[in-house]
Amino acid sequence: MLFRINRCIVDTTAFELRRDDEIIAVQPQVFDLLLLLLENRHRLVTKEEIFQRIWKNRIVSDAALSSRIKTLRQALGDDGTEQGCIRTVRRRGFRLVAPVEALGATEAAAPVPEQPEFVGREEELSLLGTLLTKACSGRRQVVFVTGEAGIGKTCLVSTFVSSPATSSRASIGHAQCIELYGTSEPYLPIFEAMQRLGAQIGVDKLAIYLKSFAPTWLAQMPWLSDGAQPTADVAGATPQRMLRELAQALEAMSAARPTVLWLEDLHWSDRSTLDAISFLARRSEAARLMVIGSYRPAEARARRHPVQAVKDAVALHGACTELALGFLGLKDVAAYLQRRFALEPAALGELSQFIHGRTDGNPLFVVALTDDLERSGALRDDDGWRLAEPVSRIGLTIPDTVQILIGQQIENLAAEERRVLQVAAVSGAEFSAAGIAATPGLDIQAVEEICDRLVQRQQFIVGRGSEDWPDGTVANRYAFVHAMYQEGLGSRVSEARRVEWQGSIAEREEQAYGANVRGIAAQLAVRFEAARRYDRGVKYLELAARNALAGNAYIEADRLYGKAIDMLPLAHLDDPAKVELRMLLPRSVAVIVTQGYAADEIDKIH
């Protein structure tokens, strides 16, 4: 049955809760609680009834019930202040007071969202199909799909399981691990996946399988158990028994029809779920079973989560396959844009280069940036999509969805890691550990240890080898994986800090290069200008202009001399007129070569 509660749709068959057409992930116990309140919406449900139905009279605290009620309210879009959905009757129980509309069994719960444009993963999709064929023949398969946030893990597996070639051959149980700030319930995602399996094969059949092969699991799924029948005593159930029963139940189900168990975001899973995956992978019995688990290696390492160690241990026995997803190539980005907008070849090439350069092919960033282009009007549909202006003139901030993702990753960093990365973001897209160590409170060894740790975890930066400075300093170099990471980190730095850090880095580089400073004149000019040390900025702009003139780069020389002259009023030099006069003659040479003697700029110079 389908029920509408305010902005939410409850599907009691598929065990799904949707709000504003989006699936809301909730724990099985929370969904069971929703069903209990929904079934008894015309009356108060006492605490005793809830404890009996949800916890089978096991001893639990009122705090556990309060936690489930709070989670359910949040899932329904109710903060609990006004109790517009679920009302608390002090010391007695709870009642569902929001208007409930029965939609019937045939009406669609929500419009099916359009499948995202799928490009660049054809080989991985084909491999998943091959592994499913092996599973259907009785050779169980365990697959780990890995990659950073936004790389397309969910899109890949979703495309695979929703394809007719998969859905016509197998029953699919899907669940997503939830980030919980505390101890997660054992086997939480597996219970949710079982609910989805029940919706496909029928809850009665699922109950029969569990009653025959996994009674301890059935006892913890009250929505399946018959109240008239005694339930198994789970208080003394050992982890080994739970694992054995799960394996036997899934093997029995897969004997009737191949089964795919898809568990997302294992970097947030409980340890018991990982033990279950490992146990299922290493069993030698034939089974038409395929287990797909996805996770982010970088986040797992940052959290010291055991999923990576479990995957490595299973791989050591040759019992799993890993699909490590990389970034999309330029051709993949072009294919995505062409499918979405059908642009003319010239505009397609220009836009593909721009978006790939800004995102490095991270699929989430590609889609978010493209959405922003459409919203801002830079891409317009005038009887066919076109660019409203050249991409070189498009000014874009980081899209909101990307800002949220990057912000979450930044908040998960240790304080010293965040500090080093913020200094690095101010320094530039590529940076030296020696330059970062020039800021107060840091040294080269500490910076390199932090950066190497981040590189190993595949977070934010990659290594770029080492660099020797003229003063004998040897330090490692690094680069940001995405320009958006640099921008996201830099946006969190105050202007006062930027000024301080740029000045410290500039002074250290100036000292290190000594007599060879001419080679980094342009770089120092940028740093000293950012540090508001305009006297030094003028000095290095002039030196950089001389370098450009010596290299016959006349347009660049003209630009640099012009910028140095414009900066003179801010530099507070003793004799700015003398400095300007010194620069005017070489600048006039650059202007004459590029524009000729009749150029208006020559008259201005003279």
Does residue 343 share a domain with residue 295? no
Q: Which of 377, 396, 415 is the last residue of a domain?
A: 396
CA 11 from centre of chain: 28
Does residue 344 share a domain with residue 320? no
Residue 562 in any domain: the answer is no
Position 57 pLDDT exceeds 80 = no
Does residue 265 share a domain with residue 133? yes
Q: In this predicted structure, what is the pLDDT of residue 592?
A: 86
In angstroms, rounded to a whole number, what is the distance separating the alpha carbons of residues 280 and 274?
A: 10
**288, 297 Cβ separation under 8 angstroms:** no
> What token pair was written down for 237?
């159930």
Comparing 16-25, 229-238, 532-541, which segment has the lowest mean pLDDT?
229-238
Does residue 346 share a domain with residue 312? no
At 391 the three-state DSSP class reads helix
**280, 289 Cβ separation under 8 angstroms:** yes
> What token pair was written down for 472?
């004998």
Q: In this predicted structure, what is the pLDDT of residue 167?
A: 86
CATH of the domain at 85: 1.10.10.10
- Name the amino acid, one letter, at 409: Q
Residue with token string 């040294």: 443
Does residue 247 share a domain with residue 128? yes
pTM, two decimals, is 0.65
Tell me the Cα Rg of the chain: 31
> What token pair was written down for 425?
């973001």
Position 225 pLDDT exceeds 70 = no
**DSSP secondary structure, 430-493, as one string:** EEEHHHHTTSTT--HHHHHHHHHHHHHTT-SEEEEEEEE-TTS-EEEEEEES-HHHHHHHHTTS
DSSP structural state of residue 593:
H
Closest CA to 386 of 373, 397, 395, 396: 373
Position 541 pLDDT exceeds 80 = yes
- The boundaries of the domain holding residue 283 are 124-324
> What token pair was written down for 183?
């101890």
At 295 the three-state DSSP class reads strand
Residue 173 in any domain: the answer is yes
Helices (H) and strands (E) in the chain, counts: 27, 18
Residue 81 in any domain: the answer is yes
In angstroms, rounded to a whole number, what is the distance separating the alpha carbons of residues 319 and 334?
A: 37
Does residue 283 share a domain with residue 268? yes
In angstroms, rounded to a whole number, what is the distance separating the alpha carbons of residues 169 and 132?
A: 9
Residue 216 in any domain: the answer is yes
Residue 224 in any domain: the answer is yes
Residue with token string 């040479």: 589
Residue 426 in any domain: the answer is no
**319, 282 Cβ separation under 8 angstroms:** yes
Q: In this predicted structure, what is the pLDDT of residue 278?
A: 96
CATH of the domain at 282: 3.40.50.300
In angstroms, rounded to a whole number, what is the distance separating the alpha carbons of residues 300 and 382?
A: 46
Does residue 283 share a domain with residue 208? yes
Comparing 76-85, 404-413, 418-427, which segment has the lowest mean pLDDT?
76-85
Residue 592 in any domain: the answer is no
CA 253 from centre of chain: 34
Position 575 pLDDT exceeds 90 = yes
- Name the amino acid, one letter, at 7: R
Q: In this predicted structure, what is the pLDDT of residue 605?
A: 58
Q: In this predicted structure, what is the pLDDT of residue 14?
A: 72
Q: How confident is the model at residue 184 (pLDDT cuts 50, 70, 90)?
A: low
Mean pLDDT across 121-142 = 94
Position 108 pLDDT exceeds 90 = no
Angle at 405 (CA atoms; ends 184, 9), nearest 5 degrees: 60
**118, 131 Cβ separation under 8 angstroms:** no
Does residue 311 share a domain with residue 212? yes
> Phi and psi of 196, rounded to 5°?
-65, -40
Residue 572 in any domain: the answer is no
Domain count for the chain: 3
Does residue 141 share a domain with residue 27? no
Does residue 277 share a domain with residue 188? yes
Mean pLDDT of the chain: 86
**If 0-12 CB within 10 Å is exposed, 13-18 middle and 19+ buried, where does residue 419 land?**
middle
Q: In this predicted structure, what is the pLDDT of residue 120?
A: 85
Q: Which of 281, 300, 324 is the last residue of a domain?
A: 324
Cβ atoms within 10 Å of 174's Cβ, excluding its own: 20
Q: Which of 376, 396, 416 is the last residue of a domain?
A: 396
Position 329 pLDDT exceeds 80 = yes
230-263: per-residue pLDDT in tens? Answer: 455 555 578 899 999 999 999 999 999 999 999 9
Q: In this predicted structure, what is the pLDDT of residue 16?
A: 82
Sheet holding 16-19, edge to edge: 22-23, 16-19, 8-11, 2-5, 100-104
Does residue 312 share a domain with residue 180? yes
Position 420 pLDDT exceeds 90 = yes
Cβ atoms within 10 Å of 456's Cβ, excluding its own: 11
Position 55 pLDDT exceeds 50 = yes
> Phi and psi of 441, rounded to 5°?
85, 5
Does residue 158 share a domain with residue 83? no
Largest Cα–Cα separation, the chain: 102
In 40-149 the beta strands, taken as DSSP E runs, fall at 45-46, 86-89, 93-96, 100-104, 141-146
Residue with token string 């909730």: 26
Q: What percent of the chain has pLDDT over 70?
A: 92
Q: In this predicted structure, what is the pLDDT of residue 437?
A: 95
Mean pLDDT across 130-147 = 95
